[in-house]
Each structure stands twice: as structure tokens, then as C-alpha cells.
Amino acid sequence: MDTIVVIIVSITLLAILASIYLEIRRQIKPRIKAYFPDGSSEASYKAKEETNLTIHVQNKGRLGFPKPVAKNMSLYVYTPTSILLKELRWLGQSETQVREAPLGGIFAGMHYLSLPAVVTMSLFHKEEEAVTILMQMPEQTGKQTIKVAVFSDEGDLGVHELEIIIF
């Protein structure tokens, strides 16, 4: 009977320690938000218009402590094939030179652009950067979804969906 109690207590302690470990790992990971300049996740553009679309990426951080840094971030922007992507530009806060990324191709049925591997973007707590995408809007009207995938040394920081309303 005593061995059963010891086994139950041991399993309970392991489960508690595992949940504490997973919560600490979740808290240490940066929390990123991608949005348009007005702070929303929707923007409107005219059909067939060539435009510079700006997307802000911010390290929102976590409540309390710690406030992790998103180091060596990679950014991928995916759009439906009806939207013609031309280039992605990023002007870092410490950079004086604009970096341009060529069209990356098609992945999962969507066009994508990404920052080159030589560009490193790191965001401290509450810090943000902006990327500008030169794109040609499609002829048909309606909603289109853009996906912004963010990765860093800390791992996958999520895929953020932004809506473009074409009128």
C-alpha cells in the first residue's frame, strides 16, 4: 500500500514540475504582434493599384518579468497569388541603408518575400520595426489575407494574419 502512495505522489510531483517547466518556457519566449500603421489588422486598397504596404512588427513582451528580446528575427510575408509582390524593404533603427528582398517564389500556394539571411532584426521589449512591401493589387475586389511568419533564435513566434480589402 505504501508503494502505491509513493508512486502516486511521485507521478503528481513530476506532473507539477513538468507544468512549471512548460510555463517558464512559455514566459521566456517573446510575444510578437504584426499590424498595419494605424494599429489595425485590416487595410483597404483600390483594385489594380500599385502600392507600398507597410507592416509594423512589435515585441509586445509579457506581463511581469522577464521581458525577453526577440533576437535574429526572420520575417516571411505570404500573399495570395493574385497579389503581385515586387519587393520588401526594411530600414532598421540602427541601419542607414535600405535592405531589399527579392521575390522568394511560391510556398503552399502563396507568393512570399523574406528578409535576406544577412539582415538581422532584433527587438527589445516594446520596440518595433516596419517593413514596406511594394505590391500590385489584383483586379478582383474582396478580402485577401496576408500572412506574416516570424521566427527568431527563441523559435517560432507565430503566423500573423492581416486582411486587405480590395475595392
- Residue-wise pLDDT tens digits, 23-63: 876 667 888 999 999 999 999 999 999 999 999 999 987 77
pLDDT at 42: 95
pTM over 0.75: yes
Checking if the pLDDT of 15 tops 80, the result is: yes
Checking if the pLDDT of 121 tops 60, the result is: yes
pLDDT at 43: 94
For residue 79, CA distances in Å to 33, 82, 135, 136, 144 come to 18, 8, 10, 11, 8
Checking if the pLDDT of 146 tops 90, the result is: yes
CA atoms of 55 and 53, how far apart (whole Å): 7
For residue 66, cis peptide bond before it (omega within 30 degrees of 0):
yes
Of 80, 78, 96, whose CA–CA distance to 133 is shortest? 78
